[in-house]
A and B are shown apart, each in its own frame.
Chain A
Amino acid sequence: MPTPIRTRFQIASDQSLLVYFDLSHSTQQQSQISKEVHEQVRRLVRLLEAEPVTGVRNVHPGYASVLVNFDALRLRHEDLQETLGGYIERMEKVALPEPREVEIPVCYGGDYGPDLQGVAELRRLTTQRVIELHAAREYLVYFLGFVPGFAYLGELASELVTPRLSAPRKTVPPGSVGIAKNQTGVYPVATPGGWRLLGRTPLKMFQSDRAEMSLLAIGDRVRFVPISREKFVKLERA
């Protein structure tokens, strides 16, 4: 029997409404990260893509929520909530596409991964062990957010869980692979960032002139594959 999931609506602004999903046995005030909740997020986003609601302008998925932006002159919160309520009742029937399996080559350490050493010291591991642990798992793309093509991947092995840097970097180079708490991800473009950087991929995570603009999509399964510096350079040129 599927785990029952509660839905909660919260007004976010005069032109947006948040839909939260919670495991019904959860006593936490805040929604928690879980695969069941993620499935609900994915289903609602998919349904809103398949059957767009008139007046809805944009949708921002999160770990346990979907923010729905709308034209306040065409829709009211109450009406949108009612429509979304109807969507959520039908969600169990929504077929989700098979998750894709994506491999991301990563050159760990050195100037590509300036925090590898620091993470190893914090967690009393060798750098080799940090790489092994990071590359051993299959991660789930919970959602894309922050900037174009940034995938929130989870969950990290507990041995690697570390807080964000206390002072974020002003610029993180594109392709940087970072970790923060129990998450990992790849920076698609140069942005400020506080995640600890373990390595870098030569792949382009986001390109607007490509058919699939984002390399990763919500629900995908991701594996990181360690590569040498030589291989990195070769792939980067390709």
Chain B
Amino acid sequence: MKWIEVRAPGLLTTVQDLGREGFGPLGVSASGAADAVALRIGNRLVGNDEGAGALEMTLLGGTFYFPDGGVIALAGSDFCAKLDDAPLAVFTSAAVKPGQTLTVGTTKSGARCNLCVEGGIEVPRVMGSASTHLLSGLGGVEGRALRKGDVLQVAAPKQAFRTFRRRAANGRALEKLKPRKILRVTDGPQSDWFGEKAQRVFYGNAFRVTEESNRMGIRLDGAALTGTETGEMISEGVSLGAVQITAGGLPIILFVEQQTTGGYPKIANVIAADMHSVGQLRPRDEIRFERVEMQTAVALLAEQEKLLSAKELIVE
């Protein structure tokens, strides 16, 4: 049995996997990694199943002590990490000797970085998933963000006594999977509530990510969509990535810890292939929306899936 000690938790570090689906009728949203693409790559780098539990760090990473060593990989934005004193690149696996310390710093680019560990982070499964749902206090470590002094258990790896071989993600694939600032969307269920003028404002302007953004939703600031029918609707199910327009005319992108139902009209919906890009948005980032057809959205997802499942993604 291996352990990791949390010496410093970072700004907001939680245990995440690919989320818990199927509990919508109870009002439970899936949660899961904000950048699921990075999580899946990171887990493959350390020989885990793609959906193994990992630590998701936000803007500022933590400091972790490995009394028993292990194999790790950082996946996501570059948070300037060091293993003892040696810089550690993202999307590369590394062997940690017993007694070494990983110090993860501040982001150089996007909002999130995952720490994947061979075997996966072991926490009690809640509704079949390790992922933390902060708002409702479900999953992960007591349903909360990590604290200094937490001790995390690492599950036994699938293959014991494997000799360590450094693995890295294919650079060309990573380039294609890079998070975007122009988010591609399809029409939302209430697109036709918004007239030509509102549509022009929505697609013609950049929006700024506000400080109030979190895993529940990305609140945007910028040109308000005026002249819309802001008539409140009776509550209905809302999908991941839904772009709802609030009473003030500003958009909110519903994210992994989303409310399951809501009453605001949705002008658009971020496509599945771009959801990991949403997970890398930082406060003050500028984004734009680009409308695509349904068949394009599905083709982009298929392309992404092909890259992620390809054997060539991981280079030894």
Expressed in whole angstroms, the Cα–Cα distance for A59 and B25 within the complex equals 6
B219 at the interface (CB under 8 A from A): no
State which residues 177-208 of B face A: CB under 8 Å: 186-189
**Interface size range of chain A in the complex:** 35 or more
- Is B45 an interface residue, CB under 8 A from the partner? no
Tell whether, in the assembled complex, residue B259 and residue A31 are in contact, meaning their CB atoms are under 8 Å apart. no
CB-based contact B21/A57 at 8 Å: yes
Q: Tell me whether B294 and A14 are in contact (CB under 8 A).
A: yes
| Known pairs A30-B234, A57-B21, A64-B236; A11 contacts B261 (CB<8 A) | no
What is the minimal beta-carbon distance from B176 to any residue of chain A, in angstroms?
17
Contact: A11 with B294, CB < 8 Å? yes
**Pick the contact of B27 from A16, A66, A144 — CB < 8 Å?**
A144
A144 touches B239 (CB 8 A): no
Cross-chain contact A12 with B27 (CB below 8 angstroms): no
Decide if A176 is an interface residue (CB 8 Å cutoff).
no
Measured CA separation A71–B236 after assembly (Å): 20
A126 at the interface (CB under 8 A from B): no
Using an 8 Å CB-CB cutoff, how does the interface string of A56-87 with B read, 1 for contact, 0 for none? 01111111111101001100110000000000
Q: Are B294 and A146 in contact (CB under 8 A)?
A: no
Structural contact, B189 and A60, CB atoms closer than 8 A: no
Chain A residue contacts of B187, Cβ below 8 A: 11
When each residue 241-264 of chain B gets 1 if its CB lies under 8 Å from chain A and 0 otherwise, what string results? 110000000000000000111100
Q: Are B25 and A152 in contact (CB under 8 A)?
A: no
A72 to B297, CA, bound (A): 9
Which residues of chain A in 146-183 are interfacial with respect to chain B, using CB atoms and an 8 Å cutoff? Answer: 146-150, 152
Kindly count the residue-residue contacts between A and B in the assembled complex, taking CB atoms under 8 Å apart: 154
A55 and B137 CA atoms in complex are apart in Å by 28
A69 and B235 in contact, given A146-B27, A218-B25 (Cβ under 8 angstroms): no
* B109 CB contacts on chain A under 8 angstroms: none
| In the bound complex, CA of A191 to CA of B21 (Å) | 22
Q: Are B189 and A69 in contact (CB under 8 A)?
A: no
Q: Is the CB of A63 within 8 A of B235?
A: yes
B189 x A144 contact (CB < 8 A):
no
Min CB gap B103→A, angstroms:
33
- B1 interface residue per 8 A CB criterion: no
Contact across chains for B135 and A191 when beta carbons are under 8 A apart: yes
B28 within 8 A of A: yes
Closest residue on chain B to residue A164 by CB atoms: B232
A5: which B residues are within 8 A, CB to CB? none
